[in-house]
Chain A
């Protein structure tokens, strides 16, 4: 605990390093192509400093508090001891892993709700839509989608089914939903698939996937451990489209009742 200021500094330097290419590109284009001063350089710069500091605090805090615990839990929940099946050499039926599915869904839901990128996109969507899309509603829809996606992904690892069929099924569903969903939401829904899985979700979910593939008999962690992230992004798209569809139906029926 005494070493955290040092770690904090390291994290800050690392974050600055990640931002360097972005800053270089923006400044380069600003000076050589656009050749116009930024409207509010001081305020923007201060904002960027806040972002850097914010990410540093955020990552450092995650590494101190949540990542060790989450990873530990993922590995504890996937041991055969915990499942009470340590003595059998028989293949374990997939139903034996109920706690894993519940944990997977909960961790998917909770991490997505705390995801900063999703927060950014949800804020933008709320401002743009003049408040008719609520940031909270969108984030909860996405989180539910991720929860379902991660649970299904855990089931896939346990059952050993081929990821390909799930992904094709998901794509077909997304395309069908796109045909019927309100046009305004489509871009936002697709984007939420990409943003759900970043800083918070990826490390915890990867730990879960690799832990599962390590401990479930007959699974290869190198081949079966991946793919949870893909499920999470796919199902958040489906969830947002579904949420928009529901909201539209609800508004329409209310409209008729009011008349």
Chain B
């Protein structure tokens, strides 16, 4: 806490408190008036809440100082360099790399493997489940890499976003009736879990930075949309994976 002023951090702490207030109110009101059972571990609860508030304040500070400038600096550097190929390779690796290690994806993939073995889609051995979960993670990571690549290409070419999204929607609608019923729910949820707290600011800053650096693009219209496409393609890829097995 050397680099930023005390007042600034205190204001940030206050903002974080406001951010957290609704969730506290909901939990407390339901606990007191609806469930009407004593709250276990008050001390731990209070300490945990203090941690969450400090964490949020630090996160926002770090965003403005670290992640946003980093994403934008890279976008400018690539735009100056003028190599589309390298930019696309970077986009793909960023999408693939951030997703393959994503903890919530690991959890969902294991759950899916569990379901698949119970539904007798795969053998119920440990090895078959590992194999299935790993395949799932690879297909989601590939899909996010692909999505960021296409999304960056869209910013360069200036295609309207909603055509891409429409194509994604149509693909989801067409593939769903053919996919095994047991995987549909997981596939739909996979779209939401792939985009983590570090990926989102980085990818957003990359998109906005590119749209600012390239002539004729409006950062507001063209800069957003990378995350949207990245949460759409996993649905298609996961269902396709379910179909292939």
Give A contacts to B, CB under 8 Å.
1, 4, 14, 17-22, 24-26, 29-30, 33-34, 36, 38-40, 43-66, 68-70, 73, 76-77, 82, 99, 103, 106-107, 109-111, 113-114, 116-117, 119-121, 123-125, 128-129, 163-164, 167-168, 171, 174-175, 178, 183-184, 186-188, 190-191, 193-200, 202, 222-230, 232-233, 237
Partner of B48, one of A18, A62, A119: A62
Question: Given A60-B51, A77-B35, A227-B189: A40 and B69 within 8 A (CB)?
Answer: yes
B residues in contact with A175, CB < 8 Å: 162, 166, 169
A51 touches B59 (CB 8 A): yes
A226 touches B55 (CB 8 A): no
B204 touches A62 (CB 8 A): no
A residues in contact with B51, CB < 8 Å: 57-58, 60-61, 64-65
B188 touches A121 (CB 8 A): no
A167 touches B55 (CB 8 A): no
Question: Given A21-B98, A65-B48: A187 and B193 within 8 A (CB)?
Answer: no
A residues in contact with B73, CB < 8 Å: 38-39, 44
**3 closest residue pairs by CB, A with B:** A47-B66, A65-B48, A61-B51
A residues in contact with B224, CB < 8 Å: 121, 125, 187-188, 190-191
A residues in contact with B220, CB < 8 Å: 125, 128-129, 184, 187-188
CA distance A120 to B219 in the complex (A): 16
B residues in contact with A25, CB < 8 Å: 90, 93-94, 97
Partner of B30, one of A4, A68, A103: A103
B118 touches A54 (CB 8 A): no
Question: Given A1-B47, A19-B198, A187-B161: A73 and B231 within 8 A (CB)?
Answer: no
B188 touches A229 (CB 8 A): yes
Partner of B201, one of A1, A82, A120: A120
A residues in contact with B39, CB < 8 Å: 69
B55 touches A1 (CB 8 A): no
B189 touches A226 (CB 8 A): yes
The reply on B123 being an interface residue by CB < 8 A is no
- With both beta carbons as reference points, the residue of chain B lying nearest to A117 in the complex is identified as B200
A30 touches B169 (CB 8 A): no
CA distance A187 to B165 in the complex (A): 10
B60 touches A124 (CB 8 A): no
B70 touches A44 (CB 8 A): yes
B50 touches A61 (CB 8 A): yes
A69 touches B228 (CB 8 A): no
Beyond the given pairs A64-B47, A222-B119, A223-B181, 4 more chain A to chain B contacts, judged by CB atoms under 8 angstroms and listed by A's residue number, are A29-B74, A128-B220, A186-B225, A222-B114
A residues in contact with B25, CB < 8 Å: 110
The reply on B244 being an interface residue by CB < 8 A is no
CA distance A233 to B97 in the complex (A): 23
Partner of A120, one of B53, B200, B231: B200
A109 touches B22 (CB 8 A): yes
A residues in contact with B61, CB < 8 Å: 47, 50, 54
Question: Given A19-B198, A116-B197: A55 and B97 within 8 A (CB)?
Answer: no
**How far apart are A10's CB and chain B's nearest CB, in angstroms?**
13
